[in-house]
Structure 1
Amino acid sequence: MSTEKNLVRSLSVEIAAPAELVWSILVDLPSYPQWNPYTVKVESSLRLGEPVNLFLPDPTRPGELLHVVEHLADFEPHRLLAWEMIASADNPDAARREQIIEPTGPRSCRYQTTDQFLGPTADQVMANHGPWVKQGFDAVALALKAHAEALHGTSA
């Protein structure tokens, strides 16, 4: 990402599990409800340019889900999974979410996720939703760490 403006960045977590395992968790979309507290359901073919249907707990209506449609923008195994929302006539909001895995050794890696709000509504989206997205992304990073380490047998 080229700028910090309107950028939400999760905690960077050190995971005591191989990058390959963490990647396998991120692309196992049907299993998201088992570990992901923020993006509780994802539906996608994981083919570049195709839709990614995201379902998130609605912060304004407890018990209900927000449905957001983005498109797969990057798919670099064991390193980067990204989707983005392109502004349209119906919806001026635009954003790019990246989930980044950085190997730190044969049995460890670092994970972080970011969301860059773009387009004409970026400042407003950041002001209205940035703190909620940050809280959700931090929860995802911590949950991914716990889930990967439990699967790898290295949880504390």
Structure 2
Amino acid sequence: MLDWMKTAKSVADDPVFGFNPDAVTRSITVDIAAPASVVWQILTDLPRYNEWNPFCIRAVSTLKMGDPIEMTLISYATAGGPTVPNLEYICGFEPERLLSWEFPNLDFWPYPARRDQVIEPTGPASCRYFTTDAFLGENGIHVFRFAGPWVKRAFDDTAIALKARAEALYVSGS
């Protein structure tokens, strides 16, 4: 469990942003035969997402805390889904360890969420990666029930693609 999840208020304490551990989607964990620095380089090289990421094919951001990240996502909710614009905000940035963004609670779209991409170094030339999406507040469990399965597929595909990209770059020395 991520540190912020351990200290987050429950939905009972905060119905808008509260955390419910049953409303979290988690990708598979992939072991990557490349250093955490290589994986970090890929995750922060937003202009190249379309070269390897099957879910997020466009991302634009300064990656500074609080700044927006504008994304174009492939909809996994429908077979061969259309692209979907998505705007979230950077909320976690720990080089070679964590890249996070969140969707705020909006009056017209009360579905806050937080995505964490986690890199765990396992050796000088290896690491582990997984990603989570916590659907927050009293609506979070409903969003999880609807979107959780297809978000997991998208995140699993992203983890597998990230592993392939990192290992290929590391072997080629790029």
Q: What TM-score, normalized to structure 1? A: 0.94
Match of 1:54 in 2: 71
Deviation, structure 1 residue 120 = 2.8
Point out the more displaced range, 55-64 or 24-33: 55-64
Equivalent-residue separation in structure 1 for 2:156 and 2:47 (angstroms): 21
Partner of 1:120: 138
Spell out structure 1 runs of 4+ moving beyond 2 A.
1-4, 58-64
Counterpart of 1:28, as a letter, is D
- Per the TM alignment, residue 63 of structure 1 is displaced from its structure 2 partner at its CA by 5.7
1:75 to 93, 107, 128: 93
How do residues 35-54 of structure 1 correspond to structure 2 at under 5 angstroms? Answer: 35-54=52-71
Letter in 1 for 2:157: A
**RMSD of aligned residue pairs (Cα, Å):** 1.4
Q: Is there any run of 5+ residues in structure 2 with no aligned partner, and where?
A: 7-19
CA drift at 1:121: 1.6
Gaps of 5+ in 1: none
Whichever residue aligns with residue 33 of structure 2, its letter is: A
Listed one character per residue, the Cα deviations across residues 34-66 of structure 1 (whole Å, up to 9, x for unaligned) are 000011111111111011112111233846211
Q: How high is the sequence identity, in percent, across the aligned residues?
A: 48
SS at match of 1:46: coil
- CA-to-partner distance for each residue in 1:130-149, whole Å, 9 max, x for gaps? 00000000000000000000
Whether 1:98 aligns to 2:106 is no
The count of corresponding residues between Structure 1 and Structure 2 is: 154
Structure 1 window deviating more from structure 2 (113-122 vs 15-24): it is: 113-122
Residue 28 (structure 2) pairs with residue 17 (structure 1): no
Contact 1:92 1:120 in 2 (8 A): no
User: Within 2, Cα distance between the matches of 1:68 and 1:116?
Assistant: 16
Secondary structure, aligned partner of 2:56: coil
